[in-house]
Amino acid sequence: MSSSVITPYSRKNPFPAHLLAQRRLTSEGSMKDTRHYEISIAGSGLNYEVGDSLGVFPQNDPVLVEEILQRLGFCGEESVADPSGERQSIRDALLRYYAITEPSKQLLSALAQQDRAAAPLAQLSAPEAYEHLEKYLWGREVIDPLLEYPHVYFTPEEFIKLLRKLQPRLYSIASSPRVYPQEIHLTVATVAYQSLGRQRFGVCSNFLAHRLTEEQSVSIFIHSAKHFRLPEDPTRSIIMVGPGTGIAPFRAFLQERKATGALGKQWLFFGEQHAKTDFLYREELETWHREGTLHRFDTAFSRDQEEKIYVQHRMLQQAQELYAWLEEGAYFYVCGDAAHMAKDVEHALVQVIERAGGHTEQQALEYVATMKKEKRYRKDVY
């Protein structure tokens, strides 16, 4: 799809889009709340390609905003400058323009200056204190140090200057523009966890799940991902490893390859905790498998049995076939968790090549390095 059509919308000038629909993909009894979203881009002139991400500007949790206002003794109507210099009420500035989850170093230093008890916070800003800073910040939001040092006060303007700008979140697009030219679909896990005795909520995932209404607009932009495209040659086969929300771009790939009638084959490895409650897009995926859009489909439900089974275990079980696909020139794609999964999947890929190809570890590593060089190994990890 061409991206040459001129649209006035970009990260700097996001499109005010509307949510068309959302539904839960995980069911009753799941430990997750992963949702499917459909956002209208009608009238925007925006173009996207499969593999791209959507940038979403969230709004903060109003409950958290009110708690901060109350702690600092503000009524909320005090006028402050937003990051672009426009005047806003401090309530709106905190809702829409400033990050109120992770505290900035500036905030910690300012607390240390005003309250002797907070003096140790000043040292956390030094580059060599990086690990201490990480440890301190873990599970803490702006409200936490404010409550820990209750005698510190700022003026509204002083306080705003101690906050970072609220950043947009990027989500891999889960639809193909050939099938949904006027819509963008997302697959988002709603983040909620406990820390330091409080319930915490991921900013953007909870904004989408609980605060964005169909009447209200959400500011969006397309984030192009040139490194994560389908093969230029449609006869090439693709292997996709996408556990959890990592399934998103592969739903888009499958829609696209079906719509274009690409001659290459498709193989998907999907993993989640339980088949009964967490099998995201089960019906669609099984239909594509039945009708032959998905030539091979392997699932790994990690918690349906005593020992963990992950996508990489399924790859190893099918080493011969997987290696044969690679030898025929298949592209290998990974999407999802960067911290552990993507590394473990790469390790498994090396083992597949070693075992099925009869290579030494060194040769298998070189094989993977060549795949990367040829851009046949593509990652979208977060």
Site residues for ligand NAP per CB under 6 A: 32, 34, 189, 243-246, 271-273, 302-303, 308, 310-312, 336-337, 339-341, 344, 382
CA distance 359 to 313: 19
Nearer to ligand NAP, 130 or 193 (CB): 193
Provide DSSP, 296-310: EEEEEETTSSSS---
Q: Which is nearer to ligand NAP, 80 or 341 (CB)?
A: 341
Bridge partners, residue 335, by sequence: 380
Q: What's the rounded Cα separation, in Å, for the pair 374 and 359?
A: 20
Give dist(CA 315, CA 307) in Å, integer: 17
Residue nearest to ligand NAP (CB): 244
DSSP letter at 244? G
Task: Give me the least distance between CB of 25 and ligand NAP, in Å please.
Answer: 10
Tell the smallest beta-carbon distance from residue 311 to ligand NAP (Å). 5
Question: Shortest Cβ distance from residue 202 to ligand NAP (Å)?
Answer: 8
Nearer Cβ to ligand NAP (2/305): 305
Cα 114 from chain centre: 37
Could you tell me the smallest distance in angstroms from the CB atom of residue 6 to ligand NAP?
Answer: 34
Residue 52 vs 380, nearer CB to ligand NAP: 380
For ligand NAP, the closer CB: 346 or 354: 346
Question: What type of residue is 252?
Answer: A
210 vs 340, beta carbon nearer ligand NAP: 340
Q: Which residue has the tokens 């069911």?
A: 27
Q: How far is the CB of 34 from ligand NAP (least distance, A)?
A: 6
Q: Which is nearer to ligand NAP, 52 or 78 (CB)?
A: 52
Instruction: Return the closest-CA partner of residue 187 out of 141, 244, 127, 112.
Output: 244
Contact 94, 69 (CB under 8 A): yes
To the nearest whole angstrom, how small is the minimum distance from the Cβ of residue 354 to ligand NAP? 19
CB 162 within 8 A of CB 146: no
- Copy the structure tokens of residue 235: 């006869």
DSSP H stretches of helix in 30-155: 62-72, 90-96, 105-114, 120-123, 130-137, 143-148
- Nearer to ligand NAP among residue 256 and residue 380 (C-beta): 380
User: How near is the Cβ of 340 to ligand NAP at its closest, in Å?
Assistant: 3
Beta 53-57 vs 217-223: how paired, if at all?
Answer: antiparallel
Beta-carbon contacts of 314 under 8 Å, excluding residues fewer than 6 positions away, are 269, 271, 298, 299, 300
HSE, CB side, 13 Å, CA atoms: give it for residue 222.
Answer: 23
Task: Tell me how far apart the alpha carbons of residues 299 and 61 are, in angstroms, rounded to a whole number.
Answer: 36
Closer to ligand NAP by CB, 255 or 312: give it. 312
